[in-house]
Structure 1
């Protein structure tokens, strides 16, 4: 059970897991919240579109089922197109017993009567596929499904059992047309590793010779001890504030304090780290993602 991520936090979590994200128009405010609540959320629900060229349909819906029909559409090339944020028309009514299993992070039972509003309780993602058994899911597409599901589980501290298919929610549906047990296995394995970090966009070939970085190199964890004074620490604090992770009452300033540690721990949690991995001491992976400008 959790408060839904903000739109910015959702996009940041996906990118932090290496998902290639495309943001569409007013997706951050495009929703069906006027029809009922969204949240607390309990998990992620996966669907297939049963069609092709699904972007416009998933965004706008139909006269009988207005859009958005999902938070995001996973294209064949692995791009996740963000189309809505909030309540979306993706799940419909489903099984209270299945929802209870998701809450308990237990294996889902066979779905019972459709008595529970799934649109209020799940993030919904559509996967472009005909669903007829003859339309393949490319490796890049399944990888994106794995990563986006992992990203949301990391952000909320959920296990892979918080991810279900529409076919597991209600007896009315058959999507997605791949093994949910297999996908949960992939998600569980990825959750056991550190976040993958942002996907690198394609670019020109690296020129010959070293290219100076625009960002400060990682100075090592031992640099960040209470009382350490450096202009670099001020620069770190400013980046943490810019990312919405500042936990300062005064500052940031050039001396590493408990407030800096709390702020950095907030950044680690944004990236999906939990427990002792979010201890407020910079590590190389989280440092590289913070991108502290050279001073």
Structure 2
């Protein structure tokens, strides 16, 4: 039983554990708190998404779907091991579960069978959705399992919990099978090993941010054959496209280093997200909108 940290402190404690964190849109204030409280918290719950494709998975978990509005978790752990923060506060991930399980988690006791659905889990747990089809055949890359271990250990370390505070959805709510493809017993063993390490986690130095030259980027955007002539090749285009993919505005298949129509449309959506309209949201980068994109998704802009 504990009070969650602030959103910024939460992101920091994950990064301090070595997690690669992607902050998605307004995650710090995106929640379901108007439906009820979040906290005190008692543990961490792991799920699988039954989806494939990182961008699609993150978008679904952020926005939800008909009948179940988002956020559907606090973080999405994609197959590449990145943790995409999509919400903070109450999230629609746990539903009703077994009060005996909650008492066991709260008291660091052995888990009983989950045979009742009588207790609000959205209030009591951090939730992480993990990109996987959940069919028992879709693989779990080691980098993804490591990220699950890291986020679970980071939260347990912050609250002073042990590995018994980490459970799967299948251990909480009758009829659920997730996560499928690895056992929660094996994951708790990994978390326990990590928490028992006496040395602090190795924190790699922050990689140097890519630099995007605005004038060269604009030249590349305006040289699209659909607009005029032969396209200009510039490496910064790929950097911007990667950021647009992370923002859920561009399909990964169009992140090809060419500032074509799909990239222009995606950038226009970014401009509209910032409040621009009309000709100010034409899909051609400007300094202010590009700097906002770089600040959020990890690159530096020069004129």
TM interval, shorter chain, is: 0.5 to 0.7
Identify the match of residue 196 of structure 1 among 176, 191, 201: 201
- The answer for the alignment partner of 1:147 in structure 2 is 150
Question: In 2, Cα distance between the equivalents of 1:6 and 1:175?
Answer: 28
Match of 1:4 in 2: 4
Q: 1:1-20, CA deviations, whole angstroms, 9 ceiling, x for partnerless residues?
A: 00011101110110010000
Identify the match of residue 99 of structure 2 among 88, 92, 96.
96
Q: Which residue of 1 aligns with 2:61?
A: 58
1:108 is aligned to 111
Shift of 1:200: 4.3
How much has 1:172 moved relative to structure 2? Answer: 2.0
What secondary structure is seen at the aligned counterpart in 1 of 2:176?
coil
Q: Which residue of 2 aligns with 1:180?
A: 184
Q: Secondary structure at the match of 2:76?
A: strand
CA offset at residue 113 of structure 1?
1.1
Superposition TM-score, scaled by structure 1 size: 0.67
Q: How many residues align?
A: 204
What is the distance in 2 between the residues matched to 1:186 and 1:93?
27
Shift of 1:195: 3.4
Paired position in structure 2 for 1:159: 162
Structure 1 residue 106: Cα displacement: 1.1
Q: Distance in 2 between matches of 1:95 and 1:13?
A: 29
TM-score normalised over the length of structure 2: 0.66
SS at match of 2:30: coil
Native 8 Å contact 1:15 1:199 kept in 2: no
Aligned residue for 1:47, secondary structure, equals strand
How far off is 1:52 after superposition?
Answer: 1.3
Deviation of residue 202 (structure 1)? Answer: 5.1
Q: Runs of 5+ in structure 2 lacking a partner?
A: 210-303
Higher helix share: 2
Query: CA–CA distance in 2 between the matches of 1:52 and 1:66?
Result: 20
